[in-house]
Structure 1
Amino acid sequence: MSTLFGSASSTNTANTLGDLGKDVALTSPPEDSVSDINFSTQTQHLAVASWDKKVRIYEIAESGGSTGVAAFDHEAPVLSCHWSPDGKKVVGAGADKAARVMDMTTQQTSQVAAHDQPIRVARFFTPVAGGDAMLVTGSWDKTIKYWDLRQQSAAATVQCQERVYTLDVKKNLLVVGTADRYINVINLSDPTKFYKTLQSPLKWQTRVVSCFTDATGFAVGSIEGRCAIQYVEEKDASSNFSFKCHRDPPQNNMTNVYSVNAISYHPQHGTFSTAGSDGTFHFWDGVAKHRLKGYPTTGGTISATAFDRTGAIFAYAVSYDWSKGYASNTPQYPNKVMMHPIQTDECKPRPSVKKR
């Protein structure tokens, strides 16, 4: 089932048009394209990974103002960054085939993971049995690996069908999206087996997966301006659906479609954002199948997004995403990270309407 929700036909467009006027730019942003951004779940700190081979850490004020507090280097472009659950460590991973962790207390950096090809994504998670946080890395070498930071070698390696393009973790749910549209669902109580493997419900290349806040399912974004909502268990399958987003209105039987680059879930409300190479972001209520807010273009492709731990700030990176190849990456292209203060109703779900 495919729907376009939040269209003008079903919603007063004026009510759903958001305002970028109060958004605040990050101070001293990276010198090259931003590949990933991630907020700590414990403090108001933001990690920013960049093609300039660095991960930078900023302290973010309630106003959206920012102060750079730390940075660490890689040997090639950094493609991913993430905070440990306790907020004491930051991981970066990327084209140097390595993951490196900075200890925020000592500001010491150490290499903690290695693959045979670039690491596309790295995420911390808490093991089901408890104990210290572990790391999962997904690579273009077609594997995911689990890492105990106290050990040199991988705790386990899982072979995937194709190159890993994206993965996300929430509670005991790990979702891995690869080339050729494979999506592997893993229950972290049995981390070396695929609980379920499916082809993406979308027809074109997977760009991003993002787990629901309650870990009952996940969203998938693809290069064709479409997003899918997918529940893990069959009993919930009737709630699966996909919808069009990040597309221009049709003209002369032609529609420009754009990649959905980032999907972020609001930590309190369970609503979510999509952002794309059309330079816009939108907030959605997946349960009510309704667009809450859409925003004007930001002047460049949006490569990454993140909510802070309270859901009061939405950060988005306006940065070249390579969707139009090498020639479009000019020095004039915008490269910035913006803090959008969430207004009271922007991300709140719609009141449920009882069916007769």
Structure 2
Amino acid sequence: MTAILPSTAGRELLKPPRDGISNLRFSNHSDHLLVSSWDKSVRLYDAGSDALLGEFVHGGAVLDCCFHDDTSGFSASADHTVRRYVFSSGKEDILGRHEAPVRCVEYSYAAGQVISGSWDKTLKCWDPRGASGQDRTLVGTYPQPERVYSLSLVGNRLVVATAGRHVNVYDLRNMSQPEQRRESSLKYQTRCVCGYPNGTGYALSSVEGRVAMEFFDLSEANQAKKYAFKCHRKSEAGRDIVYPVNAIAFHPIYGTFATGGCDGYVNVWDGNNKKRLYQYSKYPTSISALSFSRDGRLLAVASSYTYEEGDIPHEPDAIFVRNVNEVEVKPKPKVYPTPS
């Protein structure tokens, strides 16, 4: 039975995926929402009118998705394929393949390329304008130190987080080798990486209930600004219960960010002032993905069990779209004491 949530949870979209929600993303042009799922589907919703606009089905679980334009996009699947979908015409084709499940996909508007990251320990770049057919659109293959877990793209800079706590930073204009090779400052497995909207660094989350704030500039002054903080944990009977942090999403206007954890909570943070701004009411189960709309008015929340406690009974997968109030996401001004 679905839990009854307070109105602060947001509107629940009709016709959600039938299995775990791997990712969701708002369009850069409208309130269209692209959703990928372990039920092998990629779905396009109009989050404003709660309408399912289209659905495509893979041969395997879909582990990631991203937009190309308002009615087309790309997906990464456990069936080893990267696919392109055009919802307006109902057409799809295979852009290319990896040797193992494809975990991540991004589209670079600057480069006009699709970037996919796989558990075969490679990144691949594809030209979606090329001829169809296996590997005929392949631009380049770039070996990684381990399986790719998360990608984030801001401008021409691509951040790649892999197993083994490796982080590679690339400039898409020269993919011959990483611009930087780093190690996560967190001790345990990376769950999510997300670049700052201003392009100066990235946030990294892990299974240990922590988030690290990192900066690209390697100068001593800038590296002194980086820090990590605890979140998505609670004390119970004298012990700390720690939850994985699955999702990070930056607000496009204010640069604050939301995190979603296996505790079912979404928190909003002011990274500059190192403060939590808001915590939403608890959702029915784990938060697997988050996305702010292009203008920051809406926040899409995937409430979807991520099997961190094994195959146990859990609440149904659901997508909530909530209206964002300024007080939840706008940094509070620092108050300085009045001189006596």
Report the TM-score when normalising by structure 1: 0.88
- 2: distance between equivalents of 1:102 and 1:352? 47
- 2: distance between equivalents of 1:299 and 1:106? 36
Q: Which moved more, 1:148-157 or 1:214-223?
A: 148-157
- 2: distance between equivalents of 1:346 and 1:191? 39
CA contact (8 A) 1:307 1:313 kept: yes
1:57 to 41, 44, 49: 44
1:346 to 293, 311, 328: 328
Q: Once superposed, what is the RMSD of the aligned Cα atoms?
A: 1.6
Partner of 2:19: 32
CA contact (8 A) 2:160 2:169 kept: yes
CA contact (8 A) 2:30 2:70 kept: yes
1:300 to 266, 285, 290: 285
The one-character-per-residue Cα deviations of 1:14-60 (angstroms, maximum 9, x if unpaired) are xxxxx753610011111111111011001110011011101000012
CA contact (8 A) 2:106 2:153 kept: yes
Deviation at 1:250, TM superposition (A): 5.4
Deviation at 1:73, TM superposition (A): 1.2
The one-character-per-residue Cα deviations of 1:73-112 (angstroms, maximum 9, x if unpaired) are 100000001112x434211111011011112442311111
- 2: distance between equivalents of 1:114 and 1:127? 23
Deviation at 1:295, TM superposition (A): 2.1
The aligned amino acid for 2:249 is: S
What SS class does the counterpart of residue 248 from structure 1 fall into? strand
Change (3 A) 1:52 1:22: closer
Partner of 1:122: 105
Deviation at 1:237, TM superposition (A): 1.0
1:47 to 34, 49, 58: 34
- Is 2:122 the partner of 1:138? no
- 2: distance between equivalents of 1:58 and 1:98? 23
CA contact (8 A) 2:9 2:320 kept: no
CA contact (8 A) 1:33 1:320 kept: yes
- 1: distance between equivalents of 2:226 and 2:325? 29
- 1: distance between equivalents of 2:64 and 2:294? 19
Partner of 2:245: 260
Count, aligned residues: 326
Partner of 2:199: 215
Change (3 A) 1:351 1:100: same
The aligned amino acid for 1:271 is: T
- 2: distance between equivalents of 1:138 and 1:168? 11
What SS class does the counterpart of residue 289 from structure 2 fall into? strand
Change (3 A) 1:353 1:306: same
Greater share of strand residues, 1 or 2? 2
Structure 1 gap ranges (5+): 1-18
- 2: distance between equivalents of 1:354 and 1:233? 29
- Is 2:8 the partner of 1:21? yes
Partner of 2:3: none
- 2: distance between equivalents of 1:28 and 1:249? 36
Partner of 2:211: 227
1:249 to 235, 259, 265: 235
- 2: distance between equivalents of 1:349 and 1:107? 43
What SS class does the counterpart of residue 211 from structure 2 fall into? strand
- 1: distance between equivalents of 2:302 and 2:22? 8
- 2: distance between equivalents of 1:166 and 1:22? 27
Partner of 2:224: 238
Deviation at 1:333, TM superposition (A): 2.5
- 1: distance between equivalents of 2:10 and 2:168? 37
The aligned amino acid for 1:136 is: I
The share of aligned pairs that are identical, in percent, is 35
The aligned amino acid for 1:264 is: A
The aligned amino acid for 1:336 is: A
What SS class does the counterpart of residue 298 from structure 1 fall into? coil
1:95 to 66, 78, 82: 78
CA contact (8 A) 2:128 2:137 kept: no
What SS class does the counterpart of residue 262 from structure 1 fall into? strand
- 1: distance between equivalents of 2:22 and 2:206? 17
The one-character-per-residue Cα deviations of 1:118-168 (angstroms, maximum 9, x if unpaired) are 00010101235xxxx210000000000000013324201110000001111
The aligned amino acid for 1:70 is: G
The one-character-per-residue Cα deviations of 1:279-299 (angstroms, maximum 9, x if unpaired) are 101000101111100123212
What SS class does the counterpart of residue 234 from structure 2 fall into? coil
- 2: distance between equivalents of 1:354 and 1:137? 47
Deviation at 1:218, TM superposition (A): 0.3
Q: Which runs of 4+ in 1 moved over 3 A?
A: 352-356
